[in-house]
């Protein structure tokens, strides 16, 4: 993916679909799968990550000329961690129940490779505003993948969508869906579908 696309629409298309961080770059899986047995948690987690990625990309891009090269990584980590702490505090203050359920996974946003990846690949070479959009859409791309996985898991495992009962026929709950293996199977299949599709159509703007 060329790192110099600065058109917001292009960035959105790239990050949401074509080069989706989770499905195509296989990044950021760590903290993502654990929360996908509930759509509500996935949404909050996804939005939290979008916020952190957008703002840290913007901040790091604004500082890109004054950051000493040698300590780049640690500066990136510190800025990211600061934004994650903000998100964590805000969750504790306004959504205490969700904050409790997400537990350590909010803190783990720090080590989510998407944020660091965008900071390295895009924010370093681009001005703050495109960097912010790039980070934001990378986060949204991650959010929809999480929500999709959570939709399958929550409907089949609990019979609910966002906690609202949608089980009109009274089927047997599929316990494996709320356990970890289901997350692996679903994301594996999604990645498979995406790369099979990418192999079939040779897109001109892919390297």
Partner 1 sequence: MKKGHIYTLVFMLALSTVLTLALALAYEGFKPNIAAHDDLKKERSVLYALGLDEGLTDEQVTDTFAKVVEPVEGQGYVYKQDGQVRGYAVPFTGAGLWGSITGYAGLSGEKDKLTGIVFTKQNETPGLGGRIDETEYREQFRNLPIAPGTLLSYGQHDGYRLDGITGATQTSNAVIRIINQMLSDHVFNEGVQ
Partner 2 sequence: MPDINPLIIFLASIATSNMVLSNFLGMCSYLSVSSEYKTASGLGMAVTLVLVLTSALNWAVYTYLIVPLDLVYLQYVIFIIVIAALVQVLEMAMDRYTPDLHAKLGIFLPLITVNCAILGATLFMVIRSYGFVQSVLYGLGSGLGWWLAISMLAAMREKLAKAKLPPGMSGPAISFIITGIMAMAFIGFSGIFTIQ
Residue 32 touching partner 2 (CB under 8 A)? yes
Site for partner 2 in 99-158 (CB under 8 A): 103-104, 107-108, 110-113, 116
Candidate residues 4, 9, 66, 200; the one interacting with partner 1 per rule CB under 8 A: 66
Q: How many whole angstroms separate alpha carbon 14 and alpha carbon 81? A: 26
Residue 27 touching partner 2 (CB under 8 A)? yes
Residue 78 touching partner 2 (CB under 8 A)? yes
Residue 1 touching partner 2 (CB under 8 A)? no
Selection from partner 2, partner 1, none that 71 binds (CB < 5 to 8 A by kind) is partner 1
Closest CA to 49 of 35, 70, 64: 35
What separation in angstroms does the CA of 193 have from each of 24, 136, 137, 185, 187? 11, 25, 21, 12, 10
Question: Which residue matches tokens 């060329």?
Answer: 2
Closest CA to 141 of 29, 3, 19: 19
Distance of CA 3 to the CA centre of its chain: 19
Q: How many whole angstroms separate alpha carbon 161 and alpha carbon 165? A: 7
Candidate residues 3, 193, 205, 206; the one interacting with partner 2 per rule CB under 8 A: 193
Query: Site residues (CB under 8 A) for partner 2?
Result: 26-34, 73-74, 77-78, 81-82, 84-85, 88-89, 103-104, 107-108, 110-113, 116, 176, 179-185, 187-189, 191-200
């Amino acid at each position: 993916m060329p790192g110099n696309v600065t058109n917001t629409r292009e960035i959105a298309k790239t990050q949401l679909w074509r080069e989706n961080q989770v499905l195509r770059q296989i990044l950021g899986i760590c903290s993502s799968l654990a929360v996908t047995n509930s759509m509500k948690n996935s949404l909050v987690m996804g939005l939290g990550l979008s916020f952190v990625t957008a703002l840290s990309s913007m901040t790091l891009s604004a500082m890109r000329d004054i950051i000493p090269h040698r300590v780049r990584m640690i500066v990136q980590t510190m800025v990211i961690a600061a934004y994650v702490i903000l998100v964590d505090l805000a969750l504790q203050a306004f959504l205490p129940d969700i904050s409790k359920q997400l537990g350590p996974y909010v803190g783990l946003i720090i080590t989510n490779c998407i944020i660091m990846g965008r900071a390295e690949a895009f924010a370093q070479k681009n001005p703050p505003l495109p960097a912010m959009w790039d980070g934001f859409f990378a986060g949204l791309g991650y959010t929809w993948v999480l929500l999709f996985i959570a939709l399958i898991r929550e409907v089949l495992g609990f019979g609910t969508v966002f906690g609202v009962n949608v089980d009109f026929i009274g089927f047997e709950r599929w316990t494996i869906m709320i356990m970890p293996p289901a997350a692996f199977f679903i994301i594996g299949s999604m990645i498979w579908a995406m790369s099979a599709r990418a192999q079939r159509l040779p897109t001109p703007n892919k390297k």
